[in-house]
Structure 1
Amino acid sequence: MQRADMPEIYHEKEVVTDTQRCRQVVHILQREIAVSLAGEGVALGREGPLTLVQVGTFYGAVYLFDILVNNELFDKGGLRLLLESDKVAKVTHSCCFLSAALFAQYAVRVRNVFDTQIAHLLISEHEGRQLPERLTLFDVTRCYSGEDNSYGWRSDVRDMWLRRLGDYWGQRPLTNEMVEFAADDAMAIIPEVYRRQYEYLEKNRLLPKFKARVEEEILVEVNQEVKDMRGRRIESTVKDIVRKMDEKYDLDSKLFEILDDDEMYALHLLHFPDAPNISEKVVNFKTKYILQELTKIEEDLHTEQVMISTRNSLGDDIKNYEKHPDERVRTKARHLRIQIYDMLLREIGRRYGGLSAPQIFTELEKQALRSLTPKSQTDPSIEPFVLAQHWIIVENDIDQALFNLRYGHPALQITKDFADRLRTYEKLELTEGT
């Protein structure tokens, strides 16, 4: 990968919707050594729709390809050629969900990627961290950029809009504010973050390892084997750290005052069922951590509000905590799950307006909708829009279950919880097509 020149940055923004203009822009961008890449969407991922792709140059031009308005920009517009090109480096941050959306929704396999998230993790490991945490885009710009920038307050304003509108990036036409936010996402990491990270990796001969890790990041939400491989690597590191904690700390230690960053994060990532295989002391450590974590989540409900819905694994974590052997954990987790579901169900109608598609909801919002137990197809005790989304999720779940039974792997079985849900639906009088 070659280093691009770093002239002074200024932003020229253009929204591209016309296929012919897209071909012209792609032709211009294909001359670059490297460009920045970002994407926006609604619950962006394999299923969450990608609505906007941003590409920026080191000379300050930012092109916003509005694929919600014209999805022919990928093929007839030539955008696919740029994203799949090995000749032009794409500088991006934490590309796994964007990559999954591109692949699953448009069959685009992005190549030659410089991921600033992965660069940060490798740099942290090289400097002594065993289990570095991922950084937000704002934090990585603050960590590696040598000068103040406006991304911080802009990201705060954007988060405010995302709290209000779950389908914010599905709104059209694009407002001037949306254009600014999208352009910032693309330009925040070039040139300074990219230059500093690249030079560090090159100087310390980390580029081959970096390239392999980036390839893993591209595929981790696309290929289950890659995801499992990453999971095993992280799990091995977590257990190594926790075993050393078991030897290092006493049961009565003021644990959360003395743990270093790696130890705290390892305790966070440790699956509770693995704790008894290490020691009863570790069971105690993990239980204390879970209680502290549940308290923190409860506090977040009053500050972050529906932004909590974007925590991908939160719902599953809380369900697992409801099976914990400690009654304090079970009770607190059960109470918290009910609080979270109630909050999300109150907000769904306001956040999504008239949209009706299972792909637009976060996983936690889907779980909240599944938790409803309507007494009839048109149960008047449930807000009509929310009830309609419940039935859409149910129909989608049933279709997916039937597909798995017919075509899926033998391991894809119907769970007991899902079977119990089906039995409750059998007792309801539903009209055809529900």
Structure 2
Amino acid sequence: MASFPKVSIFSPSEKEECLETVSIFRQQEVLAVDSEGIQLGKDGPLTLLQIGTKDGSAYLFDVMLDKEEQDKHFFEDTGLDDLLESSEILKVLHSSGGDSAALFHQFGIKLENVFDTQVAHLVIEEHKGCKIPLRVKLEELFSTYLNASKEYTEKDVVQLEFLKKNAKFWATRPLTQNMIDYASNDVSSLLIDVYVHQKRYLEENELMATFSERLQEEIEFEIDEVNKERRQNRFSEIKRDIISTICEQYEEGTVLDDLTSDEKRALLYTTLNEIKSANYPEIIRNLKLESLDHFLQDLEEKLRDAETFYLKPHVMQKLKDIESAGTKALKKHASRLKKTVQQITVDDIERKYDINTPLTHISRAEIKFLQNLRPLYDDIEYTETVNKLHWKVIEDHLDEDLERLASDPEFEVQNIQKLIRFIHDVRVPENVQRKAKEVRKINEDSVLERLPHKYDLDTCVDELTEQEKIVLDRLDVIRNMYDPVIVDLHWKVTYFVLCEDYENFMSGKLKIQGYMSKKLEFLSTNERVPDITREKAKEFQHVICHQKTTRRGKKHNK
């Protein structure tokens, strides 16, 4: 295990000593900076700040009053806030987005005069011809730019500790030697050496303007939503350009190994549904299917060791992509692996958290996982902790919807069908049911208020959003009074949905439930229903009746 003899540690009770140390920092031109926390970011609490100097010294500043509470005045009382916001002293960080978000949202500190070695690496790789460069770990950075070997060999072990076992690892006090070594390594003087190499390359190749733009985007990624949108749009455009190039340059029979690294990555980050929507040629779908097959093989290998596997955001997304649009063989493989991923993740959640764990202490991948669980319908019997956290996540998302509905008149709630299930299933917790009803009511009122201003009597169903269709389809325009535009759109949507259900029934994708039978009875008999819809409902009923008669006849013959 590596040791770092020049390490000084300061607690909230040692602010006078901190002030003296900060005065020494002010004499430096450049400092290495990093921070640790529990799911560090906008909401994930920052618990430790590290600063490193050129001479190899590391300084660790503990901002925790106890294992639960931050000292909100720590940075102000020690002068660290002025240091971090200083335009005179350069701060070198690696992947500064999480650090910046935590400092800004939790302590009101806006990082200034920063050099981000991750951002610089991506800009340099792009200049060398890579269109979709990968982010690198600190050790890879040292190896790439300094040819330096791994300085701290226990890093992977420590990471597994907080990823798999102890969610509050970085709030544990007193700091263990492993924690001290891990934190100190992240502000190694090697980081400053990398900065010197990268800055020289950026200047020699006139890349500083691009670097500055990307740096601002990284620092403000979780401060200003515009930066997220800008990055996503740029990445989407790059993907489309690369896939268009594949279409032009390759012929049928091309396999994944024939592609460049950029082309493979573009396919990796493009879903099957995106490929279908863009009407790409068959070669793109075939290559994507091969890419997903490789993904499943790689995932299966990682799942062999449950002690080291932990959930990452892209895993469930890709499995979902395969289940919705993959081949029969891929779907079968994905379904099998998904069960293993679910079981390992459920075990991790049970081990790391309890029913009182704040959602800010849970990783984004696990939050998404908990959100998508269906404890009332899944075959798995989840523990009390997993169940409680699932409903806590659902309630939190409902609160977010309520906030967005109150602040943004154009906001449209997604997945209304799930809201409806929450409202009508008596097994759903009362507080979730109540909020689901509130969200649905406010969202419906908002949609109905917008529609007459947004559309007219000539509007086609294809012009409506999916959520608008759901709201319109479920209206009772017979018993209630609505604007003529809304009434017109309701009947257009009703006919459209009826035709979709008819086609799905004929292809065996839809089974007729009690609600559907009542709906068809109403549509086929009520004289206020438009003729075209009433006739379609009658046709639908006739087909259902015919199929039932046919099945009874077959059973009788047997």
TM-score tier after normalising by the smaller chain length? 0.7 to 0.9
Secondary structure, aligned partner of 2:41: coil
The residue aligned with 2:302 is 300
1:431–1:304 distance in 2 versus 1, CA, 3 Å:
closer
Deviations 1:261-301 (A, max 9, x none): 22222221224333242322112211221222133223222
When the two structures are superposed, what TM-score results if normalisation uses the length of structure 1? 0.87
The residue aligned with 2:241 is 240
**What is the deviation of 1:360?**
0.9
Q: C-alpha separation between the residues in 1 aligned to 2:81 and 2:295? A: 43
1:109–1:28 distance in 2 versus 1, CA, 3 Å:
same
- Tell me if the contact between 1:34 and 1:89 (Cα under 8 Å) persists in the aligned partners: yes
Correspondences of 1:49-128 after superposition (within 5 Å): 49-69=45-65, 70-128=71-129
Q: C-alpha separation between the residues in 2 aligned to 1:373 and 1:267? A: 30
Q: C-alpha separation between the residues in 2 aligned to 1:431 and 1:272? A: 37
- Tell me if the contact between 1:10 and 1:59 (Cα under 8 Å) persists in the aligned partners: no
Which amino acid letter does the alignment assign opposite residue 10 of structure 2?
A: V
1:389 is aligned to 2:385: no
Which amino acid letter does the alignment assign opposite residue 296 of structure 1?
A: D
- Tell me if the contact between 1:141 and 1:188 (Cα under 8 Å) persists in the aligned partners: no
Q: C-alpha separation between the residues in 2 aligned to 1:266 and 1:387? A: 37
The residue aligned with 2:293 is 291
Secondary structure, aligned partner of 2:49: strand
Deviations 1:303-332 (A, max 9, x none): 3656532x2343334334332153344444
Which amino acid letter does the alignment assign opposite residue 7 of structure 2?
A: E
The residue aligned with 2:7 is 12
Runs of 4+ in 1 over 6 A off after TM superposition: 431-434
**What is the deviation of 1:353?**
5.8
Which amino acid letter does the alignment assign opposite residue 156 of structure 1?
A: D
Unaligned runs of 5+ in 2: 66-70, 436-558
Secondary structure, aligned partner of 1:76: helix
Secondary structure, aligned partner of 2:60: strand
When the two structures are superposed, what TM-score results if normalisation uses the length of structure 2? 0.69
Q: C-alpha separation between the residues in 2 aligned to 1:83 and 1:22? A: 14
Which amino acid letter does the alignment assign opposite residue 174 of structure 2?
A: P
Which amino acid letter does the alignment assign opposite residue 125 of structure 1?
A: E
Comparing both chains, which one has the higher relative contact order based on Cα–Cα distances under 8 Å and sequence gaps of 6 or more? 1
1:155–1:420 distance in 2 versus 1, CA, 3 Å:
farther
- Paired residues in the alignment total 420
**What is the deviation of 1:354?**
7.6
Which amino acid letter does the alignment assign opposite residue 160 of structure 1?
A: L
Secondary structure, aligned partner of 1:225: helix
1:174–1:232 distance in 2 versus 1, CA, 3 Å:
same
The residue aligned with 2:549 is none
**What is the deviation of 1:381?**
5.4
Secondary structure, aligned partner of 1:75: helix
The residue aligned with 1:40 is 36
Which amino acid letter does the alignment assign opposite residue 40 of structure 1?
A: E
Which amino acid letter does the alignment assign opposite residue 350 of structure 2?
A: G
Greater C-alpha Rg = 2
1:416–1:336 distance in 2 versus 1, CA, 3 Å:
farther
- Tell me if the contact between 2:11 and 2:62 (Cα under 8 Å) persists in the aligned partners: yes
The residue aligned with 2:416 is 416
Which amino acid letter does the alignment assign opposite residue 62 of structure 1?
A: A
1:426–1:105 distance in 2 versus 1, CA, 3 Å:
farther
**What is the deviation of 1:114?**
0.7
Secondary structure, aligned partner of 1:178: helix
Secondary structure, aligned partner of 1:229: helix
Q: C-alpha separation between the residues in 2 aligned to 1:425 and 1:51? A: 41
Which amino acid letter does the alignment assign opposite residue 95 of structure 1?
A: S
- Tell me if the contact between 1:133 and 1:265 (Cα under 8 Å) persists in the aligned partners: no
Deviations 1:333-361 (A, max 9, x none): 44433332222111222223686111111
Correspondences of 1:325-404 after superposition (within 5 Å): 326-352=327-353, 356-373=357-374, 382-404=382-404
Q: C-alpha separation between the residues in 1 aligned to 2:300 and 2:199? A: 40
Which amino acid letter does the alignment assign opposite residue 49 of structure 2?
A: V
Q: C-alpha separation between the residues in 2 aligned to 1:47 and 1:146? A: 36
1:332–1:363 distance in 2 versus 1, CA, 3 Å:
farther
**What is the deviation of 1:86?**
1.3
Which amino acid letter does the alignment assign opposite residue 23 of structure 1?
A: L
**What is the deviation of 1:420?**
4.6
**What is the deviation of 1:76?**
2.4
The residue aligned with 2:156 is 156
The residue aligned with 2:201 is 200
- Tell me if the contact between 2:7 and 2:184 (Cα under 8 Å) persists in the aligned partners: no
1:268–1:305 distance in 2 versus 1, CA, 3 Å:
farther
Which amino acid letter does the alignment assign opposite residue 28 of structure 2?
A: E
1:424–1:319 distance in 2 versus 1, CA, 3 Å:
farther
- Tell me if the contact between 1:272 and 1:286 (Cα under 8 Å) persists in the aligned partners: yes
Secondary structure, aligned partner of 1:190: helix
**What is the deviation of 1:215?**
0.8
**RMSD over aligned Cα atoms:** 2.9
Q: C-alpha separation between the residues in 1 aligned to 2:415 and 2:57? A: 51
282-291 or 88-97, larger mean C-alpha shift:
282-291
**What is the deviation of 1:181?**
0.5
1:304–1:385 distance in 2 versus 1, CA, 3 Å:
closer
Secondary structure, aligned partner of 2:35: strand
1:129–1:394 distance in 2 versus 1, CA, 3 Å:
closer
1:355–1:429 distance in 2 versus 1, CA, 3 Å:
closer
Secondary structure, aligned partner of 2:275: helix
The residue aligned with 1:4 is none
**What is the deviation of 1:92?**
0.8
Which amino acid letter does the alignment assign opposite residue 29 of structure 1?
A: F
Secondary structure, aligned partner of 1:308: coil
Which amino acid letter does the alignment assign opposite residue 295 of structure 1?
A: Q
1:27 is aligned to 2:23: yes
- Tell me if the contact between 2:273 and 2:321 (Cα under 8 Å) persists in the aligned partners: no
21-30 or 32-41, larger mean C-alpha shift:
21-30
Which amino acid letter does the alignment assign opposite residue 365 of structure 2?
A: L
1:57–1:202 distance in 2 versus 1, CA, 3 Å:
same
The residue aligned with 1:3 is none
**What is the deviation of 1:102?**
1.9
Q: C-alpha separation between the residues in 2 aligned to 1:365 and 1:429? A: 21
